[in-house]
C-alpha cells in the first residue's frame, strides 16, 4: 500500500493550515495498492514525539475498501460510510499538530491500515488508541506518510 497527500510530501513540513496554529483542518489523503482481501481500512494520525508519549490526533475507521482517499477538511459527523474516533484532545475527528512551543520538530505519522474485517468491534465513543488496538488484531497491510511540524 502507499499513502500520499497533496498538502505535503513524505518527510516534509506540514503547512500551518492543517495545524492548531491556523485552520486546524485535515489534509487531503489518497492511497493505492490496497491488498487483495481487504474488507475495511483505518487511517490513524499519531505524534510519537509528544512529551508524555504518543499523542493520538485522528482515527478514521470502517472505511470501505474501494475508497481511495479522504478529502481535505473531513468533519467529525461527515455523514460518510466511515466513523471517527475521539482524539487525545477529547474531541471526535481530526485534531491537527499542536506541539509545545520550542519543543523542536514533531513527526506526525499518517498510517493507513488494511483490515480483514468490515467493521471494528468498538463502541460509539471509541478513542483513537482503542481503534488502533482493535485494528491491529485484523491487520493485512500498512502504509505510512510522515509530516513534520515545529511550533516556534
CATH number at residue 123: 3.90.280.10
- Residue 78's pLDDT is 64
Q: pLDDT tier at 90 (50, 70, 90 boundaries)?
A: very high
In this predicted model, what pLDDT tens digit does every residue of 97-147 receive, in sequence order? 999 999 999 999 999 999 999 999 999 899 999 999 999 999 999 999 999
Domain limits at 76? 2-149
- Residue 106's pLDDT is 98
Task: Quote the CA–CA distance of 112 and 90 in Å, as a whole number.
Answer: 22
- Residue 152's pLDDT is 81
Q: pLDDT tier at 20 (50, 70, 90 boundaries)?
A: very high
For the segment 25-46, the average pLDDT, to the nearest whole number, is 98
Residues 6+ apart with CB under 8 A from 24: 18, 94, 95, 96
The residue behind cell 481503534 is 131
In this predicted model, what pLDDT tens digit does every residue of 42-80 receive, in sequence order? 999 999 999 999 999 999 999 999 999 999 999 887 667
Q: In the chain, how many domains are there?
A: 1
- Residue 76's pLDDT is 82
- Residue 149's pLDDT is 98
Task: Quote the CA–CA distance of 111 and 21 in Å, as a whole number.
Answer: 23
Model-level pTM greater than 0.85? yes
First to last CA, the chain: 34
- Residue 79's pLDDT is 67
- Residue 81's pLDDT is 87
Amino acid at each position: 500500500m502507499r499513502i500520499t497527500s497533496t498538502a505535503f510530501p513524505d518527510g516534509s513540513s506540514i503547512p500551518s493550515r492543517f495545524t492548531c496554529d491556523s485552520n486546524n483542518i485535515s489534509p487531503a489523503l489518497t492511497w493505492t495498492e490496497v491488498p487483495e482481501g481487504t474488507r475495511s481500512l483505518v487511517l490513524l494520525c499519531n505524534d510519537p514525539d509528544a512529551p508524555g508519549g504518543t499523542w493520538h490526533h485522528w482515527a478514521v475507521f470502517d472505511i470501505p475498501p474501494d475508497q481511495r482517499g479522504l478529502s481535505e477538511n473531513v468533519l467529525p459527523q461527515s455523514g460518510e460510510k466511515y466513523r471517527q474516533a475521539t482524539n487525545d484532545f477529547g474531541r471526535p475527528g481530526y485534531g491537527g499538530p499542536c506541539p509545545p512551543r520550542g519543543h523542536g520538530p514533531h513527526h506526525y505519522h499518517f498510517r493507513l491500515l488494511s483490515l480483514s474485517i468490515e467493521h471494528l468491534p468498538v463502541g460509539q465513543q471509541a478513542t483513537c488508541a482503542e481503534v488502533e488496538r482493535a485494528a491491529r488484531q485484523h491487520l493485512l497491510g500498512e502504509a505510512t506518510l510522515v509530516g513534520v511540524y515545529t511550533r516556534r
